Amino acid sequence: MLIDTFGRRAVDLRVSLTDRCNLRCTYCMPEQGLAWLPKPSLLSDAEIVRLVGIAVGELGVREVRFTGGEPLLRPGLVGIVEACAGLVPRPELSLTTNGVGLARTASALRGAGLDRVNVSLDTVDPETFRVLTRRDRVGEVFEGLAAADAAGLRPVKVNAVLMRGVNDGQAADLLGWCLERGYELRFIEQMPLDAQHGWDRTGMVTAEEILARLGERFTLVPEPDERRGAAPAERWLVQGWTGADGGPARVGVIASVTRPFCRACDRTRLTADGQVRNCLFSTEETDLRGALRGGADDAAVAELWRAAMWGKKAGGGIDNPEFTQPDRPMSAIGG
């Protein structure tokens, strides 16, 4: 098991497959991009599958989500998914993507064993999308969402970040768009993980503000707390709407900054270059790539992973005035 000194057990593994991305979202990276990780430093496909196998077979991980950067840019993605789907016990497999290119790959990913997708989409207005991402590709994202739904990668979830003065007035429009298509929308408070270190708490659109915006058009009823478990999103039922599963439609808000959910956190993270992070906001990492390439057997790698998680702090410290933003941005850490 992966357990820490506070009794939390990590059963959800986030695996970053690349730090590269084909969008340039303003809250993530600068317009000209970043210096990408050199290819030799990235885990190979076989190394990724081996580490996921150790996590599932020896450490009790039950869910694996592939992230980036943009994971669809990983050439061996379908093969990685297929190999991980063949592990025993079989983990639940999901993917977080910006949706660009998903229309071409959704069917193959489903065939390989992927269970569902989360697609990042902050607006359905083409001009706002261009401003936020510095790219004119929203149509490709729409096509990717539709293809994922058609391929059976359900529930199709949409993740959105609101930026003050840019798209914060479009929250209800985005929810209405998702409800009409049977997608489950989740808003995420902007976190201090941008490469520019330009995040400002005072400029962040809070969960309370998001709910107030939605409440101007929709009637929301809080879902009972016991349904949440270790999930980061607080969810509300949207009265008058039916979800894709025939039950009530839902919308979620992940209040990572104003209402941290650290006490119930069940995640462990693996970066594209093979570093274990026990917290999204951690300033420390444990090198598993070096152990693999140095000839360590599975038992030794598992022990390194256990030690990394045992030292996990009570919280990310984001609500502490002395909080220090990690040097590595979201694109390198994996969402």
* DSSP code per residue over 185-222: EEEE---S--TT----GGGBPPHHHHHHHHHTT--EEE
**Is 217 among the annotated ligand-binding positions?**
no
**Is 262 among the annotated ligand-binding positions?**
yes
What are the counts of helices (DSSP H) followed by strands (DSSP E) for the chain? 10, 12
Q: Cβ distance 325 to 198 under 8 Å?
A: no
Judged by DSSP in three states, 136 sits in coil
Q: Cβ distance 306 to 2 under 8 Å?
A: yes
**Is 84 among the annotated ligand-binding positions?**
no
**Is 178 among the annotated ligand-binding positions?**
no
CA dist 104 → 17, 63, 71, 99, 140 (Å): 18, 25, 14, 10, 10
Which is nearest to 333 in space by CA: 249, 265, 268?
A: 268
Q: Cβ distance 161 to 190 under 8 Å?
A: yes
**Is 62 among the annotated ligand-binding positions?**
no
Judged by DSSP in three states, 97 sits in strand
**Is 268 among the annotated ligand-binding positions?**
yes
Which is nearest to 243 in space by CA: 154, 173, 170?
A: 154
**Is 311 among the annotated ligand-binding positions?**
no
Sort residue 98 into left (φ over 0), alpha (ψ -120 to 50) or beta: alpha
**Is 295 among the annotated ligand-binding positions?**
no
Which is nearest to 180 in space by CA: 158, 212, 209, 161?
A: 158
Work out the burial of residue 136: count CB atoms within 10 Å of its CB; fewer than 13 is exposed, 13-18 middle, 19 or more buried.
exposed
**Is 181 among the annotated ligand-binding positions?**
no
**Is 312 among the annotated ligand-binding positions?**
no
Q: Cβ distance 207 to 255 under 8 Å?
A: yes
Q: Residues at the annotated binding site? A: 14, 21, 25, 27-28, 65, 69, 96, 120, 157, 191, 262, 265, 267-269, 279
Known binding-site residue numbers for S-adenosyl-L-methionine: 27, 69, 120, 191
The binding site for GTP consists of 14, 65, 96, 157, 267-269
- Numbered residues of the known binding site for [4Fe-4S] cluster: 21, 25, 28, 262, 265, 279
